[in-house]
Structure 1
Amino acid sequence: MNHDTTILVDTQLERDDAAAAAMDIYLRLAGEGMLSPQLENAETPRFRLLDTRLAGPGIHAVTLHATGHKWVHDGMAARLVEGGRENGIFCRYDGIFVVQCPDCRHELSLGDEGSEALEEALSVWCEAPDSAYVACPACATWTPLPAWRSPRRDFAVGHFAISLHGTQLHELSRGGGSHAALALRHRLGDLAGEFTVVYGRS
């Protein structure tokens, strides 16, 4: 069964720092009794939420993503090791999304005329993210892939992200945000409120 998911993506953190960021939040939330220290199962890199005060009703599990790493069982806890399928691309489960040029706001989707540069940038991102640039077919400006944001909140790239499984927390993407939304961002390490929000299903 698919579940609604809210994903907070840090589009600025360097790849080399992603695993440390994920471990820091895991240790803090598990230590506070908010998160189960054990994975739900070997195939699903999710941690069961133990305290609904973290994200409110509806959220039942959390995944901490770090590019190039995977979670493994470690006795009564878990740890990150190199390897796995995490590539830092977060989008709708069906792979359909719309992104917007950061300079001219032209919208682009895979398969559109002029989307070849976007397709190539996504491929390059997985191997050499610092070289992943997109040429806008409207204004011809080359900009880094992480700068391309989705007006529909269905796409982002970043080396560290947090998936909240169970519901789509739309208050996280509203201008200003509620006190609860700001508190949640802070608890998850987004002190400046700069993580990009993506809504999907998992």
Structure 2
Amino acid sequence: MATPQVVVLDYGSGNLRSAVRAVERAGAEVELTGDLDTAMAADGLLVPGVGAFEACMTGLRAIRGERIIARRLSGGRPVMGICVGMQILFERGIEHGVETEGCGEWPGLVERIQAPIVPHMGWNTVEAPQGSTLFEGVEKERFYFVHSYGVRDWSLVTNDRTPESHQPLVTWAETGSDAGAGDRFVAAVENGPLWATQFHPEKSGDAGAALLRNWVKTLKSA
């Protein structure tokens, strides 16, 4: 079977080289580019992101990245977002009083985490749902987070007519270790061809490597 081809989307944001190396180690051939045609043709598209929501959206729009994402998803072609690359998939984000329109692939607001210590930085466990493909074999492992903003309310509504393959699987995490002192937020989503993580799998050691392999394996039949 042919090696999956993955594009890491280059729009001026994210740990690009580390993302490329991590996906290569997961078993894919990887190209770093912002070229629309190349990104459309790949088996998988990885959207990284660090920094501010507004800056990431500005960079993404400069290469028509939101169109690339939308066109791939309309054809059922896999896309995976990481950190702010996940956040920009939602409708909007608000930072320092500035509200910015996101890609709108999912409803919801990216907002400041309500916790005693922000940013939420370091290793944390997650609450993965039953049936998760992304977290298969690493459900109990810790992953590396570094962020001050997140999605605190999942608001996508589905119904009985939504195909089972497109029913979203939402993974949660919580800041802090003291009962009642933390804040729950979306740590990952699996929703048809669109997957994303708030944490950095490329910085999450063996667990992150296994998670990326889980994603790359799905591309072989994409």
- TM bucket normalised to smaller: under 0.3
When normalised by structure 1's length, the TM-score is 0.27
TM-score w.r.t. the length of structure 2 is 0.25
Higher alpha-carbon Rg: 1
